[in-house]
Chains A and B, each alone.
Chain A
């Protein structure tokens, strides 16, 4: 009881204090639940993702992190038997409204996957893919777009003379950077990243983290990670999920050093040993 009181006071204080300085959330869910057939993979999720920050989602395997991430650009629609209740807003738009333009939505909120998945075509064509399917550019324009977005992920200097080699011949780190370039080229607002470093070695991971820092100036980033040091390092807000619930959500510093919920505490201390 006492705990609850403290919790709500803290939340209240937070919201009162930050009223002016906290901008409207980029993504917000209201009482979100998601079912795979009869299995409820998410329940009562209320989350507010701040804009132009990195938000981390942590939690044990199978708790629904990927599922939640895929809610944000409706990638779950591809899976048969998925049902959803509650509301999800991107800015002010209810993205599960029946009139939602999925193409426009996914252009605004793009995804980077756990295993790098560049298309089996050339480096250039990978980055040019988005702009050309969306009719954003063609011909010479494409070249400068490709250059800009390869620069943004630090690939340009290595690859500028090899733009036409197959993307799959790159190293895993380069492939993941390429996937990020490919995503940036459609000019999204939100980057949804599902364990983007789990297939990479520690050095490559550190460099991708640096890249994320660069990117957060311009993009809202949500990153799912199993690596709590990583979450602590890169994110400014973090959410802890367990069995489909968002147990706790708050400032990263607070969540990691002084979690409110005992389950968060157990998970974090358990992991840190």
Chain B
């Protein structure tokens, strides 16, 4: 009887803490969303930074050609999110191009080919990378990597999307590696045995049996890595030059959405259009990473179903 009571108390505590986490999340979203909503509701804000100003090209004065510009503190404030979105995508793309092949390659090597002693070295060391504070990675990219990359590639700008992307990639690798490696090792040994027993090589087995079996998990790893790259702030802020230039070139500096919030929210006038635009950017990031994580989760579920065969 007593055991019953303790059990239900513990259960209640667990329920409460779980609900608190969800409630907290919802509250954060409501708070950010409420501040962002002014963009739609307040006529004063809308005039200066309405949705069309945020997303469509705009000419600041009659006669001046239309442009995409983010200059929130100039005499005529410009709030186009386009340069920021381009910057974010640019640096994310470089980060993923750098991180995904390395992380997935390492995961495949570790789960399929490495002898177990080597595996026991690879896995913790890559996961250790996740423990490095972003500010340290950012500092490293700013002071060391930037010069090295500039010299190696002969670039005009020291801080640019390549530098920031690689630094960001270093932060993305551990998360992609961990999730992908787990997905690969979750593939039952019986599939590998079945393949080897048909005379397949380890390569054929890895490529044609294990990878397809782990595909949802690998995809989830990539999605989560993408989410991490989009949301990461400090590394990009420090290593990208942080200039809101409208350019698709990876050799140019850039400014990302998240770095914009970090750099500007401290000085912005409370309640100004600029303030609400920053919250709007926050909401966008929130929704975006939320959806990405959701997709990632769904795919992990699918992996489980697929491996247990419960899905037709």
Contacts and interface: CB of A to CB of B under 8 A. Distances in A.
A148 interface: no
A168 B199 CA distance: 22
Chain B interface size range: 20 to 34
Nearest to A132: B208
B306 A186 contact: no
Given A117-B190, A120-B191, A169 B311 contact: yes
B131 interface: no
B311 A119 contact: no
Given A133-B204, A169-B312, A119 B191 contact: yes
A169 B309 contact: yes
A166 B198 contact: no
Contact of A117 (B193, B201, B306): B193
Given A120-B306, A166-B312, A186 B193 contact: no
Interface residues of A, number: 31
A119 B312 contact: no
Interface string B108-119: 000000001000
A119 B306 contact: no
B309 A134 contact: no
A151 interface: no
A260 interface: no
B213 to A, nearest CB: 5
Contact of A186 (B116, B198, B201, B212): B198
Given A120-B306, A165-B312, A129 B195 contact: yes
A74 to B, nearest CB: 10
A75 B193 contact: yes
B111 to A, nearest CB: 15
Contacts of A121: 209, 212
B133 interface: no
Contacts of A110: 197-199
B197 A75 contact: yes
Nearest to A183: B198
B208 A120 contact: no
B188 to A, nearest CB: 8
A109 B242 CA distance: 63
A117 B190 CA distance: 6
A119 B199 contact: no
Interface in A107-161: 107, 110-111, 113, 115, 117-121, 129-130, 133-134
A104 B199 CA distance: 7
Nearest to B187: A120
Contacts of B312: 165-166, 169
Contacts of B200: 103, 129-130, 133
Contact of A113 (B193, B213, B306, B307): B193
B196 interface: yes
Given A121-B212, A169-B311, A134 B199 contact: yes
A113 B190 contact: yes
B309 A119 contact: no
Interface of A: 73, 75, 78, 80, 102-107, 110-111, 113, 115, 117-121, 129-130, 133-134, 165-166, 168-169, 179, 182-183, 186
29 contacts: A78-B196, A80-B116, A102-B199, A103-B199, A103-B201, A105-B199, A106-B197, A107-B198, A110-B199, A111-B194, A113-B194, A117-B190, A117-B193, A117-B194, A119-B209, A120-B212, A120-B213, A121-B212, A129-B198, A129-B200, A129-B209, A133-B198, A133-B199, A133-B200, A166-B306, A166-B311, A168-B309, A169-B309, A182-B198
